[in-house]
Structure 1
Amino acid sequence: MERPNILFIVADDLNSWIAPLGRHPNVKTPAIDRLASRGTTFLRAYCTAPYCNASRMSVFTGCLPTTTGVYQNEPFWEAPLRRVTLLERLREAGYFCFGAGKVFHGSFDYADAGRNKTLSAKWNDIENRPALWDEFQTTAAEPMPSGRPLNGMFDFEDFQNVMPMNHHFDWGAIEPSRESEMPDFKTAEAVCEFLEKPHKRPFFCATGFYKPHLPWYVPQRFLDLYPLDEVSLPFVKNDDLDDVPAIAKTWALSPPDHETILKHGQWRNAVQGYLGAISYCDSQIGRVLAALDASPAADNTIVVLWGDNGFHLGEKLHWRKFVLWEEATRVPLILSLPRGEATASRVEKPVSLVDLFPTLLDLCGLEPPADIDGRSLLPLVRGTETEGRSAIVRWLRGNPLVRGAKAEDRSAIMTWLRGNHSVRLGRWRYTRYSDMSEELYDLSADPYEWNNLIGDARFENVRLDLGARLPSDD
């Protein structure tokens, strides 16, 4: 059997605002739209952790943070009895593994760039291991505009008193002459050159785009796609945190990003910056997909596009990720099989990025390890998965409060730091924190998670069933 190639594209901090998911009315993602039109879009896909490293390690191992022990930046490679990664499994099966950009976790040195007013930020590979790859092109330094911060919210002349999280909390245009220096441009260039070549072995080609990660410095034409007076802001309730546990409120307001942004009148500018960064990322995805379509591998390549975690832009009075609500955990996930294979165009059931590991091995005719947490998505993609018969399914069908609800056994588990877990099943999200405080939302009736249903006796059976699905940290 001729094994299929894999084009594996991950975008950093890309939330559910892509056009195929319909979460933001203004966004323009033509390349992603084209990929969605020829593949399967998972409408409710979730990361395992709202943090780059933990999320990516789950994808590459098929295991939850509670299994790997990687909740944030804990050691993985040197840990005794560590999990086999997707890369190692594919290379063992004869795949040529090529990568470029931010695939495993790494970061730019924004502290040095701000402190010394340099016009570029150096890249630091943290979790990538060159020995894993047959060939890898590391991330280039990121060009920085002069006069930072462009949003004027912090005093970089007094840089030692700027919080580290604010060293890159900025947005605006990069000089046109520096566009070809941008890391994502160089990553796309390297991947395009790889795809143009003929290959004797099946390949795994990993493409790691950094945008729309902060800072949102992009060419002006991408900001121009979103005139400020036409930018739609997220729906926000000023009292939205009144019914959430203390731990969630602390996470949401530390640092006080929303207060700072409102004080400086930057909310609409920030949303414009994020939308512009999404469209910039989309343009680089378009370059890579065009190179694939023109390549000898066009007809026998799986394409998977995913975001490593979500991102808040004011929802629940929060910015960034690092929480267990919908905006921080819901991500794009699109899977396109080799040409000619019939697939579902959309899947509504909640799925997890932890499912990618067994799915890709399944598609390549390889057996995944038996002790992983992920489940292959192919039955959903091919429309062959039957509905489960769990207690919550039976309860949902029989309860008049939710009559007509479509329930299923597929669920997605999310974790942020040790002891804090959330589950999405059907229309529900249930979260339990390390201090045993809780949240419960019906996202069908309450898509922005404004009304915490914990304490409402009508939903006690839902709370109990969902709580039983949460993993243990033991």
Structure 2
Amino acid sequence: MTHKRILVGFLLAFLAFSTRAIAADAPNIVFAFADDLGRYASAYADPNAPSPNDVIHTPFFDRIAAEGTRFDCALVSAPSCTPSRAAIVSGQHFFRNGSHSQLHHPWMKGFDDPWDEVRGFPLMLQASGYHIGWSYKMHISEDRMGGKDRNYRKHGSRFNTFSQNVMRADDTEAGKQELLEEVRGNFRSFLADRNDKQPFYYWFNPTNTHRSWVQGSGKKIWGIEPDSLKGKLPPFLPDNEIVREDFADYLGEAQAFDAAVGILLEELTALGELENTIVVVSGDHGAPGFPRGKCNLYDFGTQVPLAIRWPKHVAEGRVIQSPVSLLDLAPTFLEAAGLQADERMDGQSLLAAMNAETRDPEEVLRGTAICGRENHVNESRPGGLPYPMRAIRTGEYLYIVNFAPDRWPVAQPPLAAPLTNPIGGKKGGSRRMDLDFSPTRDFFELNEGDETIAEWWRLGFDLRPAEELYVIADDPHQMLNVADDVNFAAVKSQLRGQLLAELNRGNDPRVIDDGKAFDRPPYAPDTPERGVPDIEALRKEDEKADVN
């Protein structure tokens, strides 16, 4: 018995040494991933299409894009934090991740959780010898990144409230630099824990681009004039002072994130590791607190920036127009590390498309991306029910299925009404819904019912049809639904079949059996009283305001 134990121990040690030796020849991976950051970077500015990208300044994203490959149509699996991140880690469509298919991974005890079967690419990298870790937000089970001790933030987490801290500083530039030094310190702490020459995977996850940020901070900290956004906002948003300032503040936080990316590049250069590091920059979904952004399947909600730099392996200055999904990152990272992707992964490695020797990179990609959502805030609709959607994005079209068109996509109006039975029991005040608190949201709440904003309200808040179809070239902001146009009947039929085939292949609970698994436990709470607006309370508030 003793000899067997010695032999087994020797074999395990040999295998461990072998995997470390293999991994030592692999590239490092630094994944800079901003919370709630949509497709905003100065590299995306287009003289033929005015947009906020004309205003933002992101020199470090632009550098990575110029020295690597930029993706112009990168989409998330789900426009909500937890399911988006879980899809990246698992390499699977969001709906396959059980508890992690919805925000805050709710799950009723006593039910098997598909997430328990997910290993994820970070642990696969770690098993091969990588040093792995992250800073700031995770929003999925921390054990999929090696546990809580892999969260490097001993130098602080004040960067997550960037504008709040800088606006309190006596000197704006000094305040900015102090927070950037925090980023540097946390990254150095992570690097200090690796063995000599050990390859590493570092996930930089700041939340400063998540609301709330300080009103007016875009101008005060970064010099972004709100009026510079005149004529550049998406046309489904009011182009007024409130929304322009709100968006300018958002872009300011995006510039803070970009400055932090610059710190990571500085440190990699000083370490002599920049040329052997895959640097990836992206975000987990579209803009928060603006209608049709976060929680929506229009491009404004699902498109994110994506640039990848890896000298000698990734073509410089390449721009890929074909839709790709962030769940493609898992097999990409594993292939770069010399590892096989998990056979359960739905993603496709992007390395071939980025290889300089690939003459037609668009041809080696599948050319589509699948997106969807279920519950985000489970107080948005009566009964805590989700707003189920699935979509397929091609280069030419966006096709969306709304499985419950009788439900409200953001919240049951009136938006200003409090809830009869809010979580925590605290009544009064603004309610949580599938639109983050923001000055823009306040504008819509205060002006609900006003005919002057009726079209914007319809586009952002009204009931939606069972099917939506948009022609991207003619309608880049997806405002003209042609799903009922007979001229597009064949296109709609083809895309519907293509989408449903992929959902069925992945055993999406929304399309198997009765299609209502997401509407009941373990996915949804059995709470019929949840999410019901208190119309009477709102009426009394209005009467009181009229008297005053």
> Shorter-chain-normalised TM-score: which range?
0.7 to 0.9
Q: Distance in 1 between matches of 2:189 and 2:292?
A: 37
Counterpart residue number, 2:269: 293
Instruction: Establish whether residue 416 from structure 1 lines up as the match of residue 373 from structure 2.
Output: yes
Normalising by structure 2, report the TM-score: 0.64
Correspondence for 2:30 among 7, 26, 29: 7
- Larger mean Cα displacement after TM superposition, 214-223 or 430-439: 214-223
Report the alpha carbon displacement of residue 421 of structure 1 after superposing the two structures with TM.
0.4
SS at match of 1:99: strand
Q: Distance in 2 between matches of 1:284 and 1:386?
A: 30
Does the aligned pair in 2 maintain the 1:101–1:183 contact within 8 Å?
A: no
Does the aligned pair in 1 maintain the 2:184–2:267 contact within 8 Å?
A: no
SS at match of 2:151: strand
Report the alpha carbon displacement of residue 289 of structure 1 after superposing the two structures with TM.
1.0
Between the two proteins, what is the percent identity of the paired residues?
26
Counterpart residue number, 1:67: 96
Q: Distance in 2 between matches of 1:143 and 1:288?
A: 14
Q: Deviations over 1:431-456 (max 9, x none)?
A: 00113701111111111112111111
Counterpart residue number, 1:216: 213
Q: Distance in 2 between matches of 1:329 and 1:291?
A: 31
Report the alpha carbon displacement of residue 277 of structure 1 after superposing the two structures with TM.
1.0
Instruction: Establish whether residue 363 from structure 1 lines up as the match of residue 336 from structure 2.
Output: yes
More relative contact order, 1 or 2 (CA 8 Å, 6+ apart): 1
Counterpart residue number, 2:150: 135
Greater helix fraction, Structure 1 or Structure 2: 2
Counterpart residue number, 1:47: 76
Correspondence for 1:336 among 309, 323, 342: 309
Q: Distance in 2 between matches of 1:356 and 1:144?
A: 24
Contiguous gaps of at least 5 residues in structure 2: 1-21, 46-50, 375-385, 406-465, 513-548
Instruction: Establish whether residue 92 from structure 1 lines up as the match of residue 127 from structure 2.
Output: yes
Counterpart residue number, 2:347: 374
Q: Distance in 2 between matches of 1:59 and 1:144?
A: 21
Correspondence for 2:201 among 196, 200, 204: 204
Q: Deviations over 1:289-308 (max 9, x none)?
A: 11112213122111111111
Give matches, 1:156-305, under 5 Å: 174-177=167-170, 179=175, 186-192=182-188, 194-195=190-191, 199-217=196-214, 223-232=221-230, 234-235=232-233, 237=235, 265-305=241-281
Cα RMSD of the aligned pairs, angstroms, is 3.4
Give matches, 1:95-114, under 5 Å: 95-102=130-137, 104-105=138-139
Q: Distance in 2 between matches of 1:460 and 1:296?
A: 56
Does the aligned pair in 2 maintain the 1:222–1:279 contact within 8 Å?
A: no
SS at match of 1:55: helix
Report the alpha carbon displacement of residue 371 of structure 1 after superposing the two structures with TM.
1.7
Normalising by structure 1, report the TM-score: 0.73
Counterpart residue number, 1:16: 39
Q: Deviations over 1:275-323 (max 9, x none)?
A: 1111111111111111112213122111111111011675xxx165111
Does the aligned pair in 1 maintain the 2:314–2:354 contact within 8 Å?
A: no
The number of aligned residues is 387
Does the aligned pair in 2 maintain the 1:62–1:372 contact within 8 Å?
A: yes
Does the aligned pair in 2 maintain the 1:97–1:203 contact within 8 Å?
A: yes
Amino acid in the other structure paired with 2:119: V
Instruction: Evaluate the alpha carbon distance shift between residue 468 and residue 278 of structure 1 in structure 2; reply closer, same or farther with a 3 A threshold.
Output: same
Report the alpha carbon displacement of residue 35 of structure 1 after superposing the two structures with TM.
1.2
Instruction: Evaluate the alpha carbon distance shift between residue 344 and residue 373 of structure 1 in structure 2; reply closer, same or farther with a 3 A threshold.
Output: farther
Report the alpha carbon displacement of residue 370 of structure 1 after superposing the two structures with TM.
1.0
Q: Distance in 2 between matches of 1:459 and 1:409?
A: 22
Q: Deviations over 1:192-226 (max 9, x none)?
A: 45458883211111111212111223967764421
Counterpart residue number, 1:350: 323
Counterpart residue number, 2:118: 83
Contiguous gaps of at least 5 residues in structure 1: 106-125, 146-169, 241-257, 390-407
Q: Distance in 1 between matches of 2:231 and 2:158?
A: 28
Instruction: Evaluate the alpha carbon distance shift between residue 386 and residue 266 of structure 1 in structure 2; reply closer, same or farther with a 3 A threshold.
Output: closer
Q: Distance in 1 between matches of 2:352 and 2:56?
A: 31
Correspondence for 2:468 among 426, 431, 439: 439
Amino acid in the other structure paired with 1:176: A
Report the alpha carbon displacement of residue 92 of structure 1 after superposing the two structures with TM.
0.7
Q: Which has the larger radius of gyration?
A: 2
- Larger mean Cα displacement after TM superposition, 320-329 or 45-54: 320-329
Does the aligned pair in 2 maintain the 1:4–1:338 contact within 8 Å?
A: no
